[in-house]
Structure 1
Amino acid sequence: MTNQRPRIALFAYSQPGFACLEELIKLKANISIVFTHIDAPDEEIWFDSVYSLAQKNNITVYRSNKIDAAALELFKQASPDIILSAYYRAIIPDSFLTTPRLGAYNLHGSLLPKYRGRACINWAVLKGEKQTGVTMHVMTNRADKGDIIAQEAFPIKFTDTGHDIFLKTSQTVKNIIKNYLPLIESSTAPHFPQDESQATKFGRRRPADGIINWDSDVIDIYNLIRSVTHPFPGAFTFYKGKKIFIWWAVPLDEKEFIPLPGVQGAKNKLEYKSGDIINTNNKIIIKCQHGYLLLKTVAHPHDIDCLPTSKAFSAIFKTGNQLG
């Protein structure tokens, strides 16, 4: 039987993109084609494959690094009534966006107009936000600036990592697709303009951005670590020119630091400078500008994660040594 519902062209990648396709399949939407990406050889592919899911369900799928001539021809053949985009990384041409009679819509991992741009999930965690969410918005030639169709917020817990928020984002994508696809298909979806006075924008993050500045507040350093810990490139520091990844740690304030065994009190703490290592009672603690960081999981580059008290770090994590 021919599916009489509006034809959808889906542009999707990463876990939110997989979640979007999964929900569309569950809803028996009329997916005419899926565009996705070729996995980058230098990226840790932790997320489920949009390409494999489309193939498994006999949906026409094309993967590339950008919209090329073959993609253009396939798009024309698919003749979509709707475009949906979820974590597709390449620029979708204006000529595509203006083609579908029922519009083009993106699912963005923030509460627009805040956190426009790239890596919005990691940025929200890094900035210590207490909540974020997903916005479905109209796609225009101005990235992330189109009218809002739907938003759904969720909390960011103090212990949430960037990966945790990606998973919450993926579930929220499903919720929005389930609730708003029928409105898009019937051309009855609400439209709300974005408040430009509230807009913020952040750029792409690169592995080198994970460097730790010990002259920072301990909470800022903790937020950096949890925003880019596994499966992302990670936060790192140096000891005598050698890189060390800090995959997990716990912030301590002055009141939590002073009672620790081996710490002799307020007079002793004044001797420590930012980046100083304090090895006390089998705990490795680093002095920050404000507060202290209790290390939990560390690693040398291209090596397995281990405890900071392990033999591999015994010559480094000694009281008196300094990171940075």
Structure 2
Amino acid sequence: MSDSPIENYLNVLSGQRQYSAQSVASYRHDLNRYQAFLNARSRAIHRAESRDVRDFIATEHRRGMSVTTIRRRLSAIRGLYHYLMTEGHIHQDPTLTIHAPKGARRLPEVLSPEQIERLLSSSGGGALAQRDRALFELMYSSGLRLAEIVALDVVDLDLSTGLVRVTGKGRKTRDVPVGQQARTALNAWLRSRAELAAPDTFALFVGRGGKRLGARSVQLRLNRLALANNLEVPLHPHLLRHAFASHMLESSGDLRAVQELLGHANIATTQIYTHLDFQHLAEVYDRAHPRARKTKGSS
């Protein structure tokens, strides 16, 4: 057995736990960086304290390391100390009080109402064109996830009341309103659906073979529709859900209602859509706030 705790730990990863050579090399790189940091402090790995680990993380941050890299390195250090604890080489884990840095959450891209109008303005004939129009109108109208819309059956749709019953994450169901344009497109599709659907298929949206339309096919059809309408933005089905949420919030400002419509269990998930157009806000502020307007004679 090696005298190096790092090498002993890596041997366990590659031997007992069957980690790939690439994963072990990544662990070695991260732990060697930590070892070098401790060496500069004349501190042995088994003598390190929480402040040493915390200072190492802070140093990596100052060096410009990404949050993802820092989290990976901290994970490797946690694994090392867990191993040393299990083997009885240390009696206290210095990583227990260390929290991994949180990455900045990216705001979702959002299509403008004008882009949505261009995307959904196709008037092509045929059952497939009618299906696609109904599919994407419904996705935008009701903010559905890709997995939710491909799982819909005909019985889930009630156009007389303008509602669709959706089964979301955790098998939770919710009833979501369907907008008028989506209802019109769906009526047209339902009249043509029999041309494609196999007799034993209950799916609302079916493919050329008559069976339930798959998620990959939806992605391909959306890209094709975007190209046909000269929409030069990378499109994926979830962008329609993002657009629904953002446009609803811009119009209503009702975060709780949008949370229910989206089927979010936690309102914090919905709050990512509350980003604001700060240029527009500045213009409103300049027009409306008494202290924003310059008075005569001011410089």
Settle same-fold status: TM greater than 0.5: no
Larger Rg: 2
Q: State TM-score, norm by structure 1.
A: 0.20
> Higher strand share goes to which structure?
1
Q: State TM-score, norm by structure 2.
A: 0.21
